[in-house]
Amino acid sequence: MINEKMYALGSTRSKIRELFEYGKQLSKKIGAENVFDYTLGNPSVPCPETVTDVIVEEVKNPSIHGYTSAQGTVEVRKAISDYNFDRYGFRLNPDLTYMTCGAAAGLAITLRALISAPTDKVLTFAPFFPEYKVFAENAGGSLIFAGSDKSFEIDFNSLEQTITSEVQAVIINSPNNPSGTVYSEETVIRLATFLKEKEKEYNHAIYLITDEPYREILFDNAICPFIPKYYDNTVVCYSYSKALSLPGERIGYVSVSPNAENAQKLYLAIAGAGRSLGYVCAPALFQKVVERCVDKTSDSSIYKDNRDLLVSTLKNLGFTCANPKGAFYVFMKSPIDSAEEFSDVAKTFGLLVVPSDSFGVKGYVRLATCVSPDLIKRSIPALTKLAKHFNLI
């Protein structure tokens, strides 16, 4: 018999994908130049030239396409450890690091490793990446979420009201998709203190999964604290999709902090989850690319320029949005209660913006700034019409 839950997942598109597909149809109808697609988080900045050079060089190596060990080569895991040590002064253990197909696979296997009963819960903070729910449920548990304050930092009152002893793991994502918030050191320290107290109260470990594909995409001198320095029971889920512009190559890693409780056992459970889900041996060519380009990032100054242009345009038109400190999204308040309805009206002007409901908050839309600066400039007349439609100007 076909699994109904999987059928439901496979036959419905996420709101983001739905809008993206709609955009393609709309382009055929009214011309691509009249469609302003702000939906997908697909980096518009190319990967560094060195990355391309390494790919070209390595692809000629006849043994590059072979299987590596399930957790990835020892060389790439050592390179990752050295890089994080140089950058943050904290040594991740190569033997507790598992190469994955991006952060998505990393999160899926980490949750599979941490959830053992249907009552187990994973807690995150709204707004959050919608796939967390899919991964938590597929791992056999469920996702619950606490709120954020006005600047999208953690709302600790809401956290206190939401957490229960059934919570086995907490996911944070900073810089955040979709809000662009980068958690301050103060927030991280407060969260670490809070979780340590709850671990004592509940008498079990609460693992903090830090989902950080945007870790290097920071603006205005923002600093992204390295979470394992603040909280021992941390699992880092990193991806080269965003800061190295390699989303389609599916490469990232999970690393259990060497200071985590039962670190070795958890690592082996992650390896077991990778095995059970068929996620062994992340793409070999890109393991090599990461080994050789571990300290490289794409030029994120373009995202900053896009952010500046889009935020100032929106504000001049009477819309309300914060200035994101990282990642490549602008999270804008919908001028009407229903973000879905607002997104539908925007569509009539050729503007594709993602309503916030699937991110766990109501009343906002997300605009990806990983688009060409030209698209932003060309969309200004449509944004102006949208603002006029809602009597903002």
Residues of the shown chain interacting with ligand PLP in the complex, contacts defined by CB under 6 A: 41, 102-104, 129, 173, 177, 211, 213, 239, 241, 247, 252
CB 130, min distance to ligand PLP, A: 9
Specify the amino acid at residue 185: E
Q: Smallest distance from the beta carbon of 175 to ligand PLP, in angstroms?
A: 9
Least CB distance to ligand PLP at residue 21 (A):
17
Nearer to ligand PLP, 211 or 357 (CB): 211
* Distance (Å, whole) CA 103 – CA 52: 22
β-pairing, 142-146 with 167-172? unpaired
- The residue (of 54 and 368) whose beta carbon lies closer to ligand PLP is 368
Q: Nearest approach, Cβ of 164 to ligand PLP (angstroms)?
A: 24
Nearer to ligand PLP, 109 or 383 (CB): 109
Q: Which is nearer to ligand PLP, 141 or 213 (CB)?
A: 213
CB 275 within 8 A of CB 69: no
In this complex, which beta carbon is closest to ligand PLP, that of residue 89 or of residue 248? 248
Residue closest to ligand PLP when measured from CB atoms: 102
Residue number with CB closer to ligand PLP (16 or 386): 16
Question: Cβ of residue 26: shortest distance to ligand PLP, in angstroms?
Answer: 23
Closest separation in Å from C-beta 283 to ligand PLP: 12
List of residues 6+ apart from 253 with CB closer than 8 A: 72, 77, 80, 97, 98, 99, 100, 106, 236, 237, 238, 282
Of 41 and 355, nearer to ligand PLP (C-beta) is 41
Q: Which is nearer to ligand PLP, 222 or 317 (CB)?
A: 222
Residue 391 C-beta: closest distance to ligand PLP, Å = 34
Q: How far is the CB of 73 from ligand PLP (least distance, A)?
A: 19
